[in-house]
């Protein structure tokens, strides 16, 4: 990640430009924006972890975890999945004020693709 893991980010653009996958703490608006933009970046949201921001610091909440579909997946399926991710954030944002997104390429997890290529 190119950004600061101890900072709260309010821009979905930062998620992509600063490579925030798995580590960037996002406001609900930034997280929703990243979910909506994900397919344009050829990724699917596979997990969301919600929590509470303590300025600085992310308190993980085990009652606020969402798991999406696993790739490989087509763009339409990824788009539908990412809309469900948006719905999850919207349903949790009154209680949980920050979110961490985990995304993966819609073509599949890179480590699995490499393993399959090695086995051929």
DSSP assignments along 67-111, one per residue: E-PPSS--HHHHHHHHHHHHHHHHHHTTT--EEEEEEEETT--HH
- Examine residue 108 and state whether it is found in any structural domain, yes or no: yes
- Examine residue 21 and state whether it is found in any structural domain, yes or no: yes
Cβ atoms of 96 and 51 closer than 8 Å: yes
The CATH number linked to 15 is 3.30.190.30
Look up the domain containing 89 and give its range.
Answer: 8-118
- Examine residue 77 and state whether it is found in any structural domain, yes or no: yes
- Examine residue 3 and state whether it is found in any structural domain, yes or no: no
- Examine residue 72 and state whether it is found in any structural domain, yes or no: yes
Per-residue pLDDT of the chain (120 residues; tens, 9 = 90+): 788 888 999 999 999 999 999 999 999 999 999 999 999 999 999 999 999 999 989 999 999 999 999 999 999 999 999 999 999 999 999 999 999 999 999 999 877 666 777 787
Number of independent structural domains in the chain? 1
- Examine residue 94 and state whether it is found in any structural domain, yes or no: yes
Distance CA 53, CA 60 (A): 9
Report pLDDT for 94.
Answer: 97
Report pLDDT for 102.
Answer: 97
């Amino acid at each position: 990640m190119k950004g600061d893991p101890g900072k709260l980010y309010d821009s979905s653009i930062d998620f992509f430009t600063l490579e925030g996958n798995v580590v960037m703490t996002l406001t609900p608006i930034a997280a929703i924006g990243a979910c909506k933009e994900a397919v344009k970046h050829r990724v699917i949201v596979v997990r969301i972890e919600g929590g509470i921001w303590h300025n600085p610091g992310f308190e993980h909440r085990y009652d606020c975890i969402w798991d999406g579909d696993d790739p490989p997946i087509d763009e339409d399926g990824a788009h539908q999945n990412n809309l469900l991710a948006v719905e999850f954030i919207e349903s949790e944002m009154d209680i949980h004020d920050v979110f961490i997104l985990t995304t993966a390429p819609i073509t599949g997890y890179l480590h699995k693709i490499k393993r399959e290529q090695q086995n051929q």
